Structures are given as C-alpha cells and as structure tokens.
A and B are shown apart, each in its own frame.
Chain A
C-alpha cells in the first residue's frame, strides 16, 4: 500500500513538474516553439504540426485519441476485428514499425520518408529512452518528444500532447474525462473497506498462465481500482510472469480478469482451474480488447475505460452509474466511434 501511495505522489510530482516545465516552454517566442518534454528535454517544435510519427503502440493510441489525423502510420497495424472501432482514413494508415521498446522495426530512412514533423514516444522515461530520443533527433533532425506514460499521468499527458499539436481544446476535454474517471475510482474506493478488496489474477497468454506480477505496468490498473494482484513477482517492479496452475490454486484469487474471450471459455473448461475460487464462483471477467485493450494492451490511454468497467465488475453494489452509457461515451469521446449496446455486451462478454 505504501509503495503505491509513494508512486502516486511521485506521479503527482511529475505532473506538477510537467506543468511548470510547460509554462517555461510556452514563454519561448514563436516561429518554432521550444517545448520541454516529460523527461526535461528541451525540444524545438514547429508551430504547426501536421504529421506525427508514433514511436510505439502506446504513443499511437495517445495520438489517435488526441489528434487522429496527424498519425502518419501505425507502429503495428490494427487487426481486422479492431477496424470497426477506429476512424476510417486513420485505421487504414500503413504499418510503419516501431522505434522503441523491444527492438526497432523501422529504419531511419523509412522513418524520414514518412516525413513526420515530430516523433512522439509515450511510456517509460529512463536514460535508455532519453538517449535513444537524443540520438534519433540528432540523426534525423526530427524533433523527438518523450511523454511520461504512467497511468496517473494520463490527464497531463493528454494536455501536453494537445499543446504540442495545437489542439488544446480537445485535449482538455479528454483530460477532464480522464480526471473524472480517476475521481470516480477514488470515490468508490473510499467506501470499500480493505477486507472487501478483490484478489485478482490477470490471465494472459494462450493458456492463461501468463500474467503480470505486482507492480508491473500490465497490472497497474488492477491495483489502481483497489484490487490486490495475487501474483507476487521476484522483484517489486514486476513484469510479465509465467506461472503454473498449482500456483494459481495456491494464490486462490477470487477474481480473474482477461481481455481474451477464448481464455474465459478455456479456464472454465479445464479441470485444473476448478479449485481456483474465481473459477468456481464464475468470477472470470472479460474486459474490452477492441480497438485497444482496457488493461494493458498497450499500456496507454486506452486503459481509462478499464476503470469504470472494473469498478462495475468488482463493486457492483457501490457503483450506480450505467456502464453501457460510460462505455459508449468513452468510445465516442476518445475513439470517435459509436458503439451499440449489443456491441458493448459483446465487448464485455455479457451472456457468456
């Protein structure tokens, strides 16, 4: 508990720092502005930004929600099933490859051939990513901005990007929505005693035996909505972990969350999962995975919709709002698509 408080206050601090840095950046006059990114790098950015290269999937989602038309391509093209949830024109953009994370899949020439005005990366801020940004920027001459990808930083990230791209109004609306979502979580959690907090297992992978351990970016949202991640990793800053059914049985989670509809079926059928309380009590919850996952896939703005949905699933007595309406509003506001109630039911695995 104390670590997460610490992390939250650290996030707050980072937010504050960003705002301050932004104020300084805005003071610079103008044909090309000087912007300070989340890592404190001073980057000169053209006044009007029309084409943006997203360095990785999280950045692509952030860009998509703030200013979809600026996206010059996808780090990884959306799959066929995702297309109905994305704007025409944008969803058809080519796959260009990714620049950060586990190995680049785009070469510098191709990056330059896509003529981006700037490059945005959204995620971890450490020396590796900072030096990578400096290097690409020096090599290509294209401004490269790093934005803090921590979940709590989402509103600030939205505002920062809105400012960079000159779409502050839309960014502000989105940031407010994000703040509302976080506030709703805090309100609900304030009423839930520690004893009622669910013990959650995140099922991933092909057999559900892949998961994220406590403190990992993959399960951040579960902890944010008051859940206890049953998977304790070998270190505090967790990551993806592979576990065995015996361990899951031992951890005895009362809730299993997944974004994969196939896993819901699989875990219900397999005898070795039967002793797990969550399976026995049929508390295997499906959360939307289209167009982007609502838990971690990728760890970006898309996770916001996971907040209200998880609140409804985990604390049904304490949340009175209409989940369908919330999902519909989120998709309309962030993804700019309309989803019917049937589609929402399908996304939530209702009737399974």
Chain B
C-alpha cells in the first residue's frame, strides 16, 4: 500500500477518534453511555432524553461538523495557495478574503441585522474582496504575474482592515463593539445546525475542483513557464483554484469569524508527513486541518467556564507548532514567486 494511502487512512481514524471524544466532552456532562443511547434512539427515530438530544444534536455535533468544515476548508485552501503562489508564508487570507469577510460582517453588526444576514454579508464581503483583487491585478500591466495578485491582495486587505477599524470607532461601544471584537477573533460558539447545512455542502463543492485539478495545481509549483511548457493552462487553472479556495474560505469565515494560522500552518504539517506533492498533500492537509480544528474547538469550549475565542487558541497553538515545524523543515530553498 502506498504511503499516502496509509497516511490518509490513519488520519481518518484519528479524525474519527477526535470527533468521538469531542462529542463526549463539554460543559454539559453526558456520560458516554448516554451519548451512544441518544444516538441509537435518534437512529431508531425515538426521542430519548430531550435535553441530551438537544445538546448533542443541536449544539455539539453541529459545532463539531462546523469545526471539520472550517479546518478542512482553510487547510485545503491554504495548501493550494502555498502551491500556486509558490511561497510557504501564504495563507488563504492572502487575497484579502478574511479582511473582506470581516468588513461585510462588521457592517452587518453595525446595522443591527440578523445573524443569517451578517453571515451572508461576511461571505459576500470575502468573495467580493477577492474579485476586487483580481480586477485590480487585471488592470495592472504585469497582469500575468502572481506577485501582482499578491500585492493587490495586500492593498485590498489593508483597505478592508481600515474600513473595519472605521466601523469599530463609529460602532456602539457597549453593544456592537464587543460583538465586532468577538467576530474578528473567530468563534464557533454560536454555530447552528442550519449554518452547517449550508456551509458543509459549500465546502464540499469548493474542495471538488481542488481535488480534480490536484495534479495540475501541483505542477504549478514549478513556476509559470515550466508549468505552461508541461502543458498546463496556468491562468485558467489559477482562476479555478482561487475561485474554489475563495468559495470555501469565505463560506467558513462567514460562520466562524476570522480564524488565523490554520491555513498557514496545517499545510506545512501535512508536508512534513506526505511531502510536497500536491495530490498527496491535499487530502492530508484537509484531514489534518479537520482534526486540528476539532481539537482546538474542543479546547475552546472546555478549557474555561466561558468560551475562549478560537482565533486566540489557533494563534497560540498554531504559533508554537509553526516554530517547531520551522526547526524541522527546510524552507531555505523556497523561492519568491
């Protein structure tokens, strides 16, 4: 059996174990037996203990599903971006998707709109900032160059950040500002089943092009001229990757808020295990991202009596792991795009 196959099976088992443990722990104590009983009752179409059923099926499991979606999306998108931008320090935020989503959501909070609308605005903000980046990059003379795209991303991202800061100062300091702060720190505490039912399928749909084009995306890591000479339509492939990555990132950021580090760090972890070949890296990164987020979110909801915003934990855990990774991998040979 190929090494990658073994790794994928192994990671799937770890994810299953993580989900099982995560489903069993939480502030609301449900003994393992009751968890199984509740799931059995559910499958049998019976009611069981209503409180346990609500906690399990309305709160905990949707949240675990959301964590899986967030981790898979950010890590998959991050791996693809690191590959097409040929830079290890790239994360899914590089084209301004998080800042844009943040701006959309923060406007929604400022206007006092319902949660669903805020989430939708987050998604729209994230997607449109990437579209704006692409448009800006197209207007520039050196449009074929990925560096132009990255620079346009930096510009649009900082514009969106400035806009967020502006909203922060005009927002109500007692009601809206805490909400904005929490949103920007990222959290899955308010995730509902209905969110997962929309975002889960979106993430799956968005990851499909990455899977289908896995080999071609990998060849892009050779550089544009080489990849073209090997038969790849670089521009079109890149558009598909950016489109798919933006779709999944904007979708998860809309329900989770801004969560940093995952999309940057997890692909590096996966690289350490399966190597840089993208067709092997992608499944490993997606699974590891899902595991990482399930673990971190479980910590976020159990470490203290109140929620710890997940962005704080990912930065803390992610930063530490990243330094450890740097001490183990050779980044020296990476070239700038």
Contact = CB atoms under 8 A, between A and B. Distances in A.
B51 A231 contact: no
Interface residues of B, number: 38
Interface in A275-332: 275, 293, 296-299
Which of B118, B168, B169 has the largest count of A CB atoms less than 10 A from its CB? B169
B54 A250 contact: no
B54 A206 contact: no
Contacts of B179: 205-206, 210
Of A232, A243, A251, most B-chain CB atoms within 10 Å = A243
Interface in B179-228: 179, 182, 187, 189-190, 192
A207 interface: yes
Interface string A16-45: 000000000000000000000000000000
Contacts of A150: none
Given A246-B55, A250-B28, A298 B174 contact: yes
B173 A243 contact: no
Given A209-B189, A242-B306, A246-B28, A271 B54 contact: yes
A102 B173 contact: yes
Contact of B189 (A57, A244, A250, A293): A244
B27 A246 contact: yes
B58 interface: yes
Given A105-B169, A206-B109, A206-B114, A249 B55 contact: yes
A150 B265 CA distance: 46
B27 to A, nearest CB: 4
A213 interface: yes
A194 B218 CA distance: 67
Given A98-B173, A101-B173, A242-B189, A234 B304 contact: yes
Interface in B97-137: 109, 112, 114-115, 118
Given A242-B306, A250-B27, 11 more contacts: A57-B173, A57-B174, A103-B169, A209-B189, A210-B178, A244-B63, A247-B27, A247-B305, A272-B54, A272-B59, A297-B174
16 contacts: A56-B173, A101-B173, A205-B182, A206-B109, A213-B305, A242-B307, A242-B309, A243-B307, A244-B301, A246-B55, A247-B306, A249-B55, A271-B54, A272-B54, A274-B50, A275-B50
Interface of B: 26-29, 50-51, 54-55, 58-60, 63, 109, 112, 114-115, 118, 168-170, 172-175, 177-179, 182, 187, 189-190, 192, 301, 304-307, 309
